[in-house]
Amino acid sequence: MSRWKGLLYKEWIVARPGLAAVMIAVLLAIGVLPFLFHRYISGETSVITYGFVLSSFTLLFLSYMPVLSLFTSLTMDMKRADIWLHSPSSVGVLVGAKALFAVVTTVAAMVWLVFILMMVFLTSGGAAGIPEELGTGVFIGFFGEIGSLVLLISLIQLSVGFLFWSIYQGLRHKFGRILAVPVTFLLFIGSFWLNDKLSGLPAAERLLGAGEFRFPNTERLTQYSDLGIELSGSLAAGGLVVALAVSVLLFWLGLLLFDKKVAGA
């Protein structure tokens, strides 16, 4: 446990400037821009409506935060081979700590976003622009549901991104960057083609569509188009389980490839 704490603290020391920049960007996007848009673009649209629309785009940006954070940290440490070759921790632990830190900081950024949005809600006249049938709890629940979905997407992106980053590192080590870039890109495109073919099989369609997770707060909000929210209120349970299982598998494959690259460095 102390080893994990030390690795996570190391990530925190290195990542503090970048995290501060993300938090400030979220503050400006959610806490400032809605008021500016309301004042200078269209006063007929409420501040909180602008806030919700901008929050949707910001959440999309945050979904890429884990994989970008992992890439940045790995790229920095790749310049020092002794970190990987002489560390008492395994490659799995070293990379796992980076991935865990990336996910935790993304969750923190999402919580910060919701907090800022609630402050906007309170300072912009409370329920101005919000249907009376909806309470504050519905909005908190909505962002909890959407935040969970965005986090799932970010985990998938993290696993896929790490796998192909590892493939690129291995190819670059053997054949050089000029050949590694196009080959990795072709493999990446090919993975989408393979996924499309496999998911289109009748058995796969039945598995991916089995069961259902419902998002009650999202369903309620989609009834009010003036909020600019157009989202489905359900998610296939089979697809969710398969997505998580495949993400774990891809991350594990990425670790195997990266471990080989480190051993051959």
Confidence at residue 264, expressed as pLDDT on a 0 to 100 scale: 58
Confidence at residue 81, expressed as pLDDT on a 0 to 100 scale: 66
Buried b (16+ CB within 10 A) or exposed e, 18-29: eeeebbeebeeb
Instruction: Kindly state the average pLDDT of the residues 158-171.
Output: 90
140: buried, middle or exposed (CB in 10 Å: 19+, 13-18, 0-12)? middle
CA distance 22 to 184: 29
pLDDT digits (tens, 9 = 90+) for 79-112: 776 666 566 778 888 888 899 999 999 999 988 9
Q: Would you say 160 and 109 are in contact if contact means Cβ atoms under 8 Å apart?
A: no
Q: Is the pLDDT of residue 53 over 90?
A: no
pTM over 0.85: no
| Long-range contacts of 191-199, Cβ-Cβ distance < 8 Å, separation of 24 or more | 191/160, 191/164
Q: Which of the two residues, 203 and 251, has the higher pLDDT score? A: 251
DSSP secondary structure letters along 178-221: HHHHHHHHHHHHHHHHHHHHHHTSHHHHHHHTSS-EE-HHHHHH
Q: Is the pLDDT of residue 35 over 70?
A: yes
Confidence at residue 121, expressed as pLDDT on a 0 to 100 scale: 76
Candidate ranges 11-15, 171-175, 192-196, 235-239; pick with highest mean pLDDT: 11-15
Instruction: Kindly state the average pLDDT of the residues 31-49.
Output: 82
Q: Is the pLDDT of residue 174 over 70?
A: yes
Residue in the structure block whose two tokens are 């402050």:
119
